[in-house]
Each structure stands twice: as C-alpha cells, then as structure tokens.
Amino acid sequence: MSHQPPKYQAITLRNFRKNALIQRHLSAEQMHAIEVVGNVLPFKVNNYVLDELIDWSNIPEDPIFQLTFPQKEMLAPHDFYLVEKALAENQSKAELTHTVNQIRLGLNPHPAGQMEHNVPLFQNTRLQGIQHKYRETVLFFPKQSQTCHAYCTFCFRWPQFVGMEGLKFAMQETGLLVDYLKANPKVSDVLFTGGDPMIMKANRMEAYLQPLLEKRIPNLINIRIGSKMLGYWPYKLISDPDADDMLRLFERVVKHGYQLSFMAHFNHGRELQTPAAQEAIRRIRNTGAVIRTQSPIMRHINDHPHVWRDMWKQQVRLGCIPYYMFIARDTGAQSYFAVPLERCHRIYREAYQQVGGLARTVRGPSMSADPGKVQILGTVNVGGEKLFNLRFIQSRNPDWVGQPFFARYDPRAIWLDELKPAFDQPNFFFEEPVEISQMN
C-alpha cells in the first residue's frame, strides 16, 4: 500500500472536467455525454475509483468505467436530445428540472411496488424507514445513509440520489425499529441498507446499533450491513479517522451475540484486487463479522462466465462467501445493461461449473420482483415444448418459496413481467386473478 493513504475526494457533475485523469483520457464528446446523462441519472465517483480501479488504457470498455460513468446510450436518443437541447438553450433551473423529471418518470423510478406494499404500518404510524417484505428480514434505511461513496450507473435506488420527491425512504430513530422487531418475533434479520450505511461515521452507526445492543432482542439473530464500501472506498476501514471506531463497533456487535453479516456488493473481480480492498476485507473478518457477496449481472460490466468465475474464486480466497447473483432490475438504464434471462442463466451455470464447492453457495440468477426473488433454474423440454424452469428463493408468501414453476420459453425476455405461464395457463399461481368486484 502507498505510504500516504488518500483522502476521499468526490468527483461529480460539478467538478469532473477539472480532474486530470478525465481530461487526459476522455474526449470532448464523452464529457458532453456525461454532462447530459448525468443530469438525469446520478453521477458521483471518487479518487480511489479513478486512481486504483479504472484501467484508463481501456476506455470506454473498462468495466469499472462503465459501472460508474454515465454513457450516452443509457438514455433513449430522444431523451438525450431533450436534455442536450435544454442545456444548450441554457434553460432555467425550473425548466431543466421539469424536462429531466419527465424523463426520470419514464424510467420506472420505483420498481417492484416498494412504495405501495412494503412500508409497514405500526402503532398507527407508517414506518417510512423500514421495509418488511419477507417474513424473516426487515430492511432498515438510516436517514444518514441515503448516499454512497460513488454511484453505480445501473442502481435501482437512483431516485433517492436525485432527490425525486416522495421517493425517499429514511428513518431517524432506532427506537421504533426495536419496538417493531420485538413485536414481530418471526423476524430474525435486520438489514441496514441505503444508499450505503458505511457512508456513516462510526458514532452515527453506533447510535443506530446501540439500542439493539443494550437489550438483546431474542428473535434477532443476524444484523446485516449492505455496503459497496469495499468496492468504492476501502479506506473507510483503513485510514479514515473513524476506521478503528467502526471496527471496534463491529466487534461489539459480535460480542453481544449477534451474527454480523457484511453484505458486500462487488460487480467485478477488479474490485477485489487492490491492496486496500484486501486489507479492508481482512479487517472486517478480524472483527468476527462474516462477509457475503452479491452483484447483479449486467451487459458492459460482467456478462461473461470467466468474470464471475474469477470473482467468486477470488472472494473465496479472501474468505468471503458468494451469496447472490441478481438480474438487473427494471429501472433506470435497464435497456443498456439488460441481459436476457436465458443468457444470465448460461453465464451463471458456466461460471458455477468452474468453481469449487465453497463458491457454490451463490444463488441465482435471481429477479427481485414484486412477488419475490425468482430464480432461473434453466430451460427444460416438456412434451416437445421448451420452457423456463423457475422458483421462488424468497417470497412475500412463505408458502411459495422453493416451489418450482414453469414459463414459456422466450429468448428475448429480460424480466419476470415478460414471461407467460406454461401449458396455456391463464396466469401464474402467484398472480391473483382480478376479482369481478374490483373491476367495477
């Protein structure tokens, strides 16, 4: 590692043109595209990503560049044109915001019905910072973690980062969370999420965790932290001023008898190769926490079996447990990143075949859709008809979990809502037929 650990510097729409690496390696046209697309989708990167992750000799194909920099093709040509025009005409802030928000609303800013279905009502209060979709696991959105150390261009949380009104989840207090966990004895897991909770300072994180430590909640077994810090800013646990405090806090969580699971988001093996990432992984593991890994599969970033094989192998080598392969969600720049379901499965299987058993803990490819997490098990032939074989890994109805079901084969399908039930059934078993009374 370098002798002088770097200080975090954000690179955003406001200052990216001043960055030396960007000036040296990007054309005027590429910078223009960043400006245009970056007005619609969030853009933020940092000096670690630029200095240690991106291979600047391989622009624009470099996967980390694709992961963090807006690309022209992420917007439909007409949308791109509209924003380009608005910027060229020097429209007022209000006009530009109007144009941009129209486009954002066309990008399915709230997929999988999160707003409508998953925010619990508790003691007559809507718990805006909690989502409870699956019986065992509660998602908790601390108010201060609604951002990240850099933004992924495919992120389904993007509306939070661009401040679209009514789309923000956040919760100020853990008091209500604790009451909620106690009142729901089937809940065994709480997952701190965001944004990225590891954006918080250690004392902030401690304020959230303290109530869970003070009085052990008997039904709570696992405290999970979902984070991309290891990929985007590993110095958080090495040289940031609160690095040691955060590690001591992790130790305390473990000492209190909880399992601490660090759900690390990695999209490419490159993120595991830097000395800083490897050091941060060591430090987390030394606290007694376990690191599990997850990533969506996306065109331009990781849509090759060898990328997944190498990433999973490297994760196991570093003591991490591969956990989920997701399918890119139906939001934002999905058309840019989408990989057809059949191809997702082929990539998963080819990679899975090439790794040892300790990497085969990974489940996928899986779609987080409204009824639950749907895994593609492959294609099968039944009575001369080619079908997709699927099952729920996770579901809002626990009875559905693990049940295999079939859909008509469709080589172009990229999401659950494009699939049709097999055997000429009118609907899937998990789709409620619409009641006549509801239609009137």
Check: CB of residue 332 under 8 Å from CB of residue 296: no
Check: CB of residue 62 under 8 Å from CB of residue 247: no
How far apart (Å, rounded) are the C-alpha atoms in residues 312 and 10? 29
The region of 46-54, 193-201, 317-325, 389-397 touching ligand SF4 under the rule CB under 6 A is 193-201
Task: Establish if 151 lies at the interface with ligand SF4 (CB under 6 A).
Answer: yes
Any bridge partners for residue 385, and if so which? Answer: 382
AA letter at 324: Y
| CA count, 13 A, side-chain hemisphere, 144 | 13
> Phi and psi (nearest 5°) for 227?
-155, 150
Task: Establish if 148 lies at the interface with ligand SF4 (CB under 6 A).
Answer: yes
The region of 33-41, 53-61, 119-127, 128-136 touching ligand PLP under the rule CB under 6 A is 128-136
How far apart (Å, rounded) are the C-alpha atoms in residues 52 and 4? 14
How far apart (Å, rounded) are the C-alpha atoms in residues 86 and 216? 55
Q: Over the Cα atoms of the chain, what is R_g?
A: 22
| The two structure tokens encoding residue 434 | 């619409």
Q: Which does 235 bind (CB under 5 to 8 A by kind): ligand SF4, ligand PLP, none?
A: none
Provide the minimum distance between the beta carbon of 33 and ligand SF4 in the complex, in angstroms, as a whole number.
19
The region of 189-197, 200-208, 214-222, 420-428 touching ligand SF4 under the rule CB under 6 A is 189-197
- What's the Cα-to-Cα distance from 179 to each of 145, 176, 185, 264, 310, rounded to whole Å? 21, 5, 11, 28, 43
The region of 22-30, 134-142, 282-290, 306-314 touching ligand PLP under the rule CB under 6 A is 134-142
Backbone conformation region of residue 396, classed left if phi is above 0, alpha if psi is from -120 to 50, else beta: alpha
* Residue among 117 and 317 whose Cβ is closer to ligand PLP: 117
AA letter at 3: H
How far apart (Å, rounded) are the C-alpha atoms in residues 85 and 83? 5
* Residue among 80 and 156 whose Cβ is closer to ligand SF4: 156
Task: Establish if 224 lies at the interface with ligand SF4 (CB under 6 A).
Answer: no
Cα 334 to its chain centre, rounded Å, is 13
Q: 437 Cβ partners below 8 Å, 6+ apart?
A: none
* Residue among 19 and 137 whose Cβ is closer to ligand PLP: 137
The region of 28-36, 130-138, 273-281, 405-413 touching ligand PLP under the rule CB under 6 A is 130-138
Size of the site for ligand PLP (CB under 6 A): 8
Q: Which does 278 bind (CB under 5 to 8 A by kind): ligand SF4, ligand PLP, none?
A: none
Q: Which does 376 bind (CB under 5 to 8 A by kind): ligand SF4, ligand PLP, none?
A: none
Helices (H) and strands (E) in the chain, counts: 17, 15
Residue 351's nearest CA partner among 368, 365, 336, 337 is: 365
Check: CB of residue 350 under 8 Å from CB of residue 343: no
The region of 90-98, 101-109, 132-140, 154-162 touching ligand PLP under the rule CB under 6 A is 132-140
* Residue among 159 and 388 whose Cβ is closer to ligand SF4: 159
Residue 13's nearest CA partner among 5, 52, 32, 209 is: 32
Q: Which does 131 bind (CB under 5 to 8 A by kind): ligand PLP, ligand SF4, none?
A: ligand PLP
Q: Residue from 50, 130, 155, 200 that binds ligand SF4 (CB under 6 A)?
A: 155
* Residue among 152 and 347 whose Cβ is closer to ligand SF4: 152
Q: Which does 394 bind (CB under 5 to 8 A by kind): ligand PLP, ligand SF4, none?
A: ligand PLP
3-state secondary structure of 23: helix
Q: Which does 368 bind (CB under 5 to 8 A by kind): ligand SF4, ligand PLP, none?
A: ligand PLP
Q: Residue from 68, 131, 144, 395 that binds ligand PLP (CB under 6 A)?
A: 131
Task: Establish if 301 lies at the interface with ligand SF4 (CB under 6 A).
Answer: no
* Residue among 69 and 134 whose Cβ is closer to ligand PLP: 134
Q: Residue from 109, 159, 195, 365 that binds ligand SF4 (CB under 6 A)?
A: 195
Q: What residues numbered 262-281 form the site for ligand SF4, per CB under 6 A?
A: 265
| The two structure tokens encoding residue 234 | 């590993």
Cα end-to-end span (Å), the chain: 67
How far apart (Å, rounded) are the C-alpha atoms in residues 232 and 52? 10
Q: Which does 155 bind (CB under 5 to 8 A by kind): ligand PLP, ligand SF4, none?
A: ligand SF4
Q: Residue from 394, 405, 409, 419 that binds ligand PLP (CB under 6 A)?
A: 394
Site string for ligand PLP, 345-374 (x = CB under 6 A): -----------------------x----x-
Residue 406's nearest CA partner among 386, 391, 389 is: 389
Residues that bind ligand SF4 (CB under 6 A): 148, 151-152, 155, 157, 194-196, 228, 265
Binding site for ligand PLP (CB under 6 A): 131, 133-134, 137, 139, 368, 373, 394
